[in-house]
Structure 1
Amino acid sequence: MYLFVIDHPYHYEAENLCRVFFPFDKVVTLRDPAEAGAPQARTVYTAIRDERYIVRVEDEDGETAREEDRIAEDEYGLMSLLFSALRAHTGKTPRWGMLTGIHPIKLLRQLTERYGAEEANRLFRERYFVSEEKAALAARTLKSQTPVTLDVRENDYSLYISVPFCPTRCAYCSFVSQSVEKTKKQIPEYHALLLREIEATAETAKALGLTLRSVYVGGGTPTTFSAEQLAMLIRTVRASFDLSKCAEFTVEAGRPDTIDRAKLEALLSGGVTRISINPQTLQDNVLENIGRRHTAQQTVEAFRLAREVGFTNINMDLIVGLPGDTFESFCDTIEKVLALDPENVTVHSLALKRSSRITQSGEINRAHADAALADRMMAYAEKRLTEHGFEPYYLYRQSRMAGNLENTGWAKPGFVCAYNIFTMDETETVLACGAGGVSKLKDPYSEDLTRIFNFKYSYEYISRYGEILERKEGIGRQYEQFRKRIH
């Protein structure tokens, strides 16, 4: 499809809104109609002309929707018109309305701080066209996470450590992770350099007088490391950082085919307080469809082993919209997870990622063809988790999600993962180590956020490691700028 962006700066917002309604279309954005090449099946025209916003949506049969209005006093006017035109053209009303950003709860928090809860909820529904159900979910989520965000102090930060290896690459995955089959030889050198970066990061944090609140080891699948490598990583964190104010230490155990007693005992004895054991589904046929080389029973056995070893805070991830999953089989997975009685359950919507195998093969189109099915699955999960005493505590969205839905973390009382709240609400600084890690430096005196990127791939991380340490030096310089603003 062609998207014309004429005399306005909102091309990014317009592209994302078009993808909400047409997730399978390739969007070609042009500034001048004369640049158009071969005719497209669909054209969206957005412009400012004579102090008015103009929007047209056309298909091969001609114009099908048009909206026009005076220029509004804020940036929402043009996107509101585009949303209305796309809704009229398609007959669809997305549950999250015109919101396309990753952090809807952050937006709701900012609106609440400015206008109060009642007015913020009204704006969510009327300005952004969010449905009653999703506005209610957002309000519940904000209520759950507010005690955590209110407790953040100006020098607080969290530590993220990336282990970008997996036993196999899942068919839906587009994360920067590589299968151990292809990268096994890199792991020892990567592990050694990662420990050095952790030590350097600790020195930087100490020099700045920062206070560590949470540690999160993610991936990839961190338990692709051996028990000895995991133990060494945890010892390095404990020796390098002051953990006296650190309330949680999470490690994504993730894939049950990487979990054994020795690794679990290494994690627990090292002081890890929370782990994830992520089935995604407890249906063997669906596991096979997504390229997982383990069974549902192996997930159950890994969970029970973790309990036996002594873990009292376990998260389990599920995905709505996986190829081959039906409403009945998804409900069966939910019931089996609830029977295991984890403390956290995270429910994701399958996202259309260009680099994933099922996107490139076309399988994902079938998985996303029935948005109503994905919506029913998500509604069932919300109902049953609520009935079992879980509350939503963090939520984020991605582009091209099944049913245009969301990813939501649910927790029993007293078991919220503060790191997930900090990183999604962008409430405090996150210092990241490892390939694909992104340090997010939060100005404690404003909403400003500065990002410092590590190299994406493990081979780049290894071959250009010196540059990683040079980039880390930017953390101190940025904090100097933050502090100059207030002093």
Structure 2
Amino acid sequence: MTLLIDGHGFHYEMENLCRLFFPHDAIKVVHEPAEDEVVVTTSLRRGEDKTELFVEYRAYITNERSKAEVPNHHADYDNRCELVMAQLLFGILAKVCRFTPKWGVLTGVRPIKLMRRLMNEEGEAEARRTFTEDLLVSEEKTNLAIDTVRKEDSILQLSRQDSFSLYVSIPFCPSRCAYCSFVSMWVEKSGHLLPKYVELLAKEIEETGRVAKQLGLRLETIYFGGGTPTILSAEQLSFLIQAVNRSFDLSFVREFTVEAGRPDTITREKLQVMKDLGVTRISINPQTMQDDVLERIGRRHTVAQVRDAYAMAKEVGFTNINMDLIAGLPGDDARKFADTIRQVLELDPPSITVHTLALKRSSYLNQFGQDDYARADEVEAMLACVQQNLVRNGYTPYYLYRQSRTIGNLENIGWSKPGYEGYYNVYIMDETHTILAAGAAGVTKLKQPDGPYIERIFNFKFAYEYIDRFDEILARKKKVCPFYEKYGKCSQLPG
């Protein structure tokens, strides 16, 4: 597909909209007319009093056109032009593809953050109108966004200007799942790096704690993610968790999560270490409860192992357990997914996170043909099954985000029973406060205490880079204090 951008700078939004409808196609963006089997033209012409916007879709024997006008004196001229252009393109592509994405022209990761801002600035009624009429979001998804905002509010109010969360990255997995695009290394090839990585990670944790104490920051949540943190031995887990416990003031910590992840890496000894050292929440992630689908996506464990790991965690004393699922996996369908929901509800976890499959270019899913993927309407049916069954069983949505290239432009939702919401998930998606990150591929996000500005500090992506250039990792931590000196020292902020 060729996307022609003529007379405007909205190429990013136009490309993302094309990708909603053509997730498998390579999209070539040009600024001069070009020949291709499929050409989408988006054009802006500013006249004396008004601006004309024009969109055309041309493919084989199909030719669809649409146009609109924006007054040049419009108070928010540039944003209005971009929105109207997006509406035109969305309308044409929905017509030719016979498919209307329920999140409308929204392509960003954080629709809940947008809804919250609109509700705060304009009130719920106008926010609802903006979503449904301007952004073309369905009534169903608009209601979901409003419900999620209300649920998140009680959690966001707990955060203070001096609050922060800690993320610890363990970018290793036992093997690579077909759908995964994260920068992780599997132990068969990179396991020899683990001992040195753990040693240096503990040092970065200690340095991060020193900086946090110097600034008077208040630690709210801790999250060990990956990768698969339970790829570590019980001794390595203990070593890193103890590094956190001695490096930070834990007086105000509301939640300590370890993403236990794949059940084939979970042992009673590891669970006991986590429990004894203060971990309060874990995630056991089957992704599906269908053995044939697990095999198809390269997860080397069984449904029986999921059940065993969950029972073991309960026996050790964990009461706050999340389970992750993915809708739209190759080989899955609505009937199998409904059975997965049934099996997970039998286990009765306090929280369930349901992701929509994202068709990432760097994942192994590219080896499958398009017919192997559940169609968008079938994934919608899967998510409808989730909502119906989880609401019936006492779960409510507490956070929501989206990824690029998800099937049907659909969402990822965290569901929980009352009192079992994942605070870290809410804080990172809302960008409520600073996240200090340690480990390869970790991204520290420094949040202005009394404003919206965010500054990022990136660690090296790969474990071997992290090890080889560790001095640079520690040097980058020195950027944290100047940020707070510029935007307000937390020890001087009202509490």
Counterpart for residue 427 of structure 1 = 432
Tell which deviates more after alignment, 242-251 or 90-99.
Answer: 90-99
Within a 5 Å distance, the mapping from 1:19-168 to structure 2 comes to 19-33=19-33, 36=34, 39-50=35-46, 51-61=51-61, 63-70=63-70, 73-74=76-77, 75=79, 76-168=83-175
2:287 equivalent in structure 1: 280
Query: Of 211, 219, 223, which residue of structure 1 is paired with 2:218?
Result: 211
**Partner SS, residue 393 of structure 1:** strand
Task: Name the CA distance, whole Å, in 1 between partners of 2:374 and 2:281.
Answer: 36
**How far 1:84 sits from its partner (Å)?**
2.2
Give distance in 2, aligned partners of 1:386 and 1:254.
25
- 1:134 maps to amino acid: K
Q: Which amino acid aligns with 2:155?
A: V
Cα distance in 2, alignment partners of residues 446 and 83 from structure 1: 34
Q: Does residue 189 of structure 1 match 2:196? A: yes
Deviation sequence 1:98-151 (CA, Å, 0-9, x none): 110000100101111101112211211111111111111111111111111122
Given that residues 328 and 374 in structure 2 are in contact (C-alpha distance below 8 angstroms), is that contact kept between their aligned partners in structure 1?
no
- Of stretches 49-58 and 408-417 in structure 1, the one that deviates more from structure 2 is 49-58
SS at match of 2:323: strand
- 1:367 positional shift: 3.9
Q: Is 1:370 aligned to 2:366, yes or no? A: no
More deviation, 325-334/409-418: 325-334
- The one-letter code matched in structure 2 to 1:471 is R
Q: Counterpart in 1 of 2:180?
A: 173
Identity of aligned residues (%): 51
Q: Does structure 2 conserve the Cα–Cα contact (< 8 Å) formed by 1:40 and 1:60?
A: no
1:111 is paired with a residue of what secondary structure? helix
Q: Which amino acid aligns with 1:379?
A: A
1:158 aligned counterpart, secondary structure: strand
Is the 2:329–2:374 contact (alpha carbons within 8 Å) kept by the matching residues of 1?
A: no
Q: 1:22 offset after TM fit, Å?
A: 1.2
Q: Distance in 2 between the 1:6 and 1:343 partners?
A: 51
After TM superposition, the runs of 4+ consecutive aligned structure 1 residues lying more than 4 A away are: none
Letter in 1 for 2:153: T
Checking the alignment, whether the CA contact within 8 Å between 1:65 and 1:88 is kept in structure 2 is no
Amino acid at match of 2:206: E
**1:244-299: CA deviation from partner (whole Å, max 9, x where unpaired):** 01110000001000001100000000000000000001111000001011110000
Determine helix, strand or coil for the equivalent of 1:196.
helix
Aligned position for 1:269: 276
Q: Which amino acid aligns with 2:23?
A: P
List gaps (5 residues or longer) in structure 2.
Answer: none
Query: Following the alignment from structure 2 to structure 1, what is the Cα–Cα distance between the partners of residues 196 and 280?
Result: 27
Aligned residues: 480
Q: Secondary structure at the match of 2:488?
A: helix
Where 1:329 maps in the other structure, the secondary structure is helix
How big is the shift at 1:13? 1.1
CA positional deviation for 1:368:
3.4
1:380 equivalenced with 2:412 (yes/no):
no
Residue 416 of structure 2 corresponds to residue 408 of structure 1 = no
What per-residue deviation string (whole Å, max 9, x for no partner) do you get for residues 8-45 of structure 1? 22211111111011111111112233xx4xx3221112
State the Cα distance separating 1:91 from its structure 2 match.
2.8
* Amino acid across the alignment from 1:418: Y
Report deviation, 1:62. Answer: 5.7
Comparing 447-456 with 315-324, greater Cα deviation is found at 447-456
Deviations 1:423-459 (A, max 9, x none): 0111111111111111111112222211111111111
Q: Find 1:295's aligned residue among 302, 313, 317.
A: 302
Contact 1:158–1:419 under 8 Å retained in 2? yes
From 448, 459, 463, give the equivalent of 1:458: 463
Question: Deviation digits for residues 64-95 of structure 1, max 9, x if unmatched?
Answer: 22223225535123222222232233232111
Residue 480 of structure 1 pairs with residue 485 of structure 2:
yes
RMSD (CA atoms): 1.5
Alpha carbons 2:264, 2:300 under 8 Å: kept: yes
1:3 is aligned to 3
How far apart, in 1, do the equivalents of 2:100 and 2:193 lie?
Answer: 48
